[in-house]
């Protein structure tokens, strides 16, 4: 996909971190930007940041939605069509959470929360949007689906089980979509970053009340350590530009931290 101006992008997790960076980059490329996130305060701040970044207020649509909830996600998709006049030409699913601890101590809540956001929301979005995108745009105009996975997709670790498994599944799924969408003149891209300067170190603070039974050691100290690690990560706008370049070049897999020349 090469032409973005005047089209619609839908970014999940768009109120923070990588998702907000992507919203800025594709908004700057002339797209109308819908950002979907579960946190209203973060959405309010993100809308202001997008305006300050130069995106027109009427081109910004913040949507408060728990993307693991299919009815809520479907309602958000309906809202985009109502406000922007059609489904997104570009779907970027970036919402994610993490929680780390010994795999053998994991609870069902640990798996349900991490895989619910990192994998199931991606499935929800693909099933809700792709048929609408095909109906509206196939053979008429370019459209694309993208997902933010992680380098974790390629690394299994004793403390990263649910996260790595979800990210690996997302990668695999995007290869299926890349193949499936080709006949419609569309494609798929999966972004696998290493470390991003984002707010994911605070994810545990927003874990839903019904999934709080964790088997891991979660404390202000562990969150502080995560925040310190992520503070050294790539800038979200820079990462958004890398994703854009990947989509423009029709790449399925985009590995921002892979530098074979080094
Ligand atoms: P972030 O915490 O800054 O942004 C993630 C957003 O997802 C948050 O605004 C959060 O409210 C939203 N979210 C969480 N659960 C949701 C739900 N049920 N419904 C709607 N929105 C929900 O974190 P970051 O780092 O920007 O994460 C973006 C993606 O990048 C995630 O998929 C993450 O796994 C991935 N990633 C992050 C890395 C990092 O170092 N931070 C490295 C590699 C991948």
% of the chain with per-residue pLDDT over 70: 98
Sequence-ordered list of residues with C-beta below 8 angstroms from that of 120, at least 6 positions apart, any chain: 68
Q: Please state, rounded to an integer, the average pLDDT across all residues of the chain.
A: 97
Nearest CA residue ID for atom 6, ligand 1:
13
Q: What is the CATH number of the domain that holds 168?
A: 3.40.50.720
The answer as to whether 3 is a domain residue is no
The answer as to whether 259 is a domain residue is no
pLDDT at site 261: 67
Domain that holds residue 92: 8-254
**Could you give the CA distance from residue 75 to residue 84 in angstroms, rounded to a whole number?**
14
Percentage helix, strand, coil, to 5, in the chain? 55, 15, 35
pLDDT at site 258: 76
pLDDT at site 257: 87
Kindly state if the Cβ of 46 falls inside 6 Å of ligand 1. no
Mean pLDDT of 38-44: 98
pTM of the model: 0.98
The answer as to whether 262 is a domain residue is no
The answer as to whether 182 is a domain residue is yes
Kindly state if the Cβ of 67 falls inside 6 Å of ligand 1. yes
Number of H helices, E strands in the chain: 8, 7
Count of structural domains within the chain: 1
Minimum-distance ligand 1 atom for the alpha carbon of 198: 3
pLDDT digits (tens, 9 = 90+) for 203-229: 999 999 999 999 999 999 998 999 999
The answer as to whether 261 is a domain residue is no
The answer as to whether 240 is a domain residue is yes
Minimum-distance ligand 1 atom for the alpha carbon of 95: 7
The answer as to whether 241 is a domain residue is yes
pLDDT digits (tens, 9 = 90+) for 137-189: 999 999 999 999 999 999 999 999 999 999 999 999 999 999 999 999 999 99
Instruction: Give the DSSP per-residue string, 129-145.
Output: HHHHHHHHHTTTS--EE
From ligand 1's centre to the CA of 207, what distance in Å? 12
From ligand 1's centre to the CA of 95, what distance in Å? 4
| Region label for 30, one of left (φ > 0), alpha (ψ between -120 and 50) or beta (otherwise) | left
16, 38, 76, 79, 121 from 202: Cα distances, Å: 11, 14, 25, 29, 19
Residue 222 neighbours by CB distance under 10 Å: 16
The answer as to whether 174 is a domain residue is yes
Residue with tokens 């925040």: 227
């Amino acid at each position: 996909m090469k032409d973005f101006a005047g089209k619609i992008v839908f970014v999940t997790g768009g109120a923070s971190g990588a998702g907000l960076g992507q919203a800025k980059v594709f908004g700057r490329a002339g797209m109308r930007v819908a950002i979907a996130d579960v946190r209203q305060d973060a959405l309010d701040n993100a809308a202001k940041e997008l305006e300050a970044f130069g995106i027109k207020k009427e081109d910004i649509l913040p949507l408060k939605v728990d993307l693991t909830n299919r009815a809520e996600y479907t309602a958000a998709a309906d809202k985009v069509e109502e406000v922007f006049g059609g489904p997104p030409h570009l779907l970027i699913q970036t919402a994610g959470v993490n929680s780390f601890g010994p795999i053998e101590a994991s609870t069902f809540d640990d798996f349900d929360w991490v895989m619910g956001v990192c994998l199931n929301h991606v499935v929800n979005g693909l099933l809700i949007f792709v048929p609408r995108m095909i109906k509206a745009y196939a053979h008429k105009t370019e459209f694309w689906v993208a997902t933010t996975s992680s380098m974790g997709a390629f690394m299994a670790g004793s403390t990263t089980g649910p996260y790595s498994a979800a990210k690996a599944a997302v990668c695999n799924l995007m290869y299926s979509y890349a193949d499936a969408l080709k006949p419609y003149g569309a494609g798929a891209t999966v972004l696998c970053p290493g470390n991003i300067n984002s707010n994911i170190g605070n994810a545990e603070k927003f874990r839903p009340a019904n999934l709080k039974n964790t088997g891991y050691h979660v404390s202000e100290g562990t969150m502080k350590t995560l925040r310190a690690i992520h503070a050294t990560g790539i800038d979200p706008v820079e990462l958004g530009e890398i994703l854009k370049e990947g989509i423009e070049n029709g790449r399925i897999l985009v590995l921002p931290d892979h530098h074979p020349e080094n």
